[in-house]
Amino acid sequence: MVTSPRNLIRLTAVYTVLLMCPPALADDALWQRIQQEDNIVLLMRHSYVGPGNGTVWDKSGKCQGERLISSEGKLHAQRIGKQFASRQLQPQVLSSPLCRAKDTAKIAFGESKLVPPLRPVRNASDEEVAQQTTRQLLLDMRGKQPVVMVSHQPTIDALTLELISIGDVVVGKVTDDGEIDVIGQLKIK
């Protein structure tokens, strides 16, 4: 079969469009699963922060010495909330008590439950306790309404073995033993 130059150009254009579509289609399919399936959990990092010490936690809640969400981070958190609202999703929201995470959750979703085990911990025994506590909490919250956890890279890595950047969201299903089976990732810019 001989293909004319004009048809070759058309075929190339069609293939180019098809190659560019899968990520968007994959995101749409994942959003549909979030809307329709039970036992969904979304793990996301806090939004963009300004300078400061990332290891400080002011237990008083006054954020003294903590890294705080930046103006860019506030705008990003608003976009996160709009992504959920545009899909009529009203998740249950859990947040690390560190100000950058709880501020991200508040701006994006309006309210959240502060969960101390969602903050980064420094030793293996604390990590194990944090993971067990988080798994039990997820078991208790399983159901039709998705759960969003606003946390930190080390915590998300420990729970899912997924390394993510700010704006990435790990999507998973909570199993009968409280583990998270990862089903995909979204990017919210």
pLDDT reported for residue 54 = 76
Helix (H) or strand (E) holding 106: helix 99-109
| CA dihedral (35, 47, 136, 159) positive or negative | positive
Exposed, middle or buried, 159 (CB in 10 Å: 0-12/13-18/19+)? buried
Residues of the chain with pLDDT under 50: 1, 11, 14-19, 21-22
**Entry pTM:** 0.82
For residue 57, the 8-state DSSP code is -
Answer whether 120's CB lies under 8 Å from 57's CB: no
Are 175 and 181 in contact, with CB atoms under 8 Å apart? yes
**What are the extents of the domains in the chain?**
38-187
Residue where the block lists tokens 């806090």? 46
Res 96: pLDDT:
93
Which tokens hold the place of 168? 């990435």
Cα–chain center distance at 110: 16
φ, ψ for residue 71, nearest 5 deg: -60, -40
Which pLDDT does position 167 carry in this prediction? Answer: 81
Q: Which of 96, 126, 95 is nearest to 109 (CA)?
A: 95
Q: pLDDT value at position 110?
A: 95
Topology classification of domain 38-187? Rossmann fold (3.40.50)
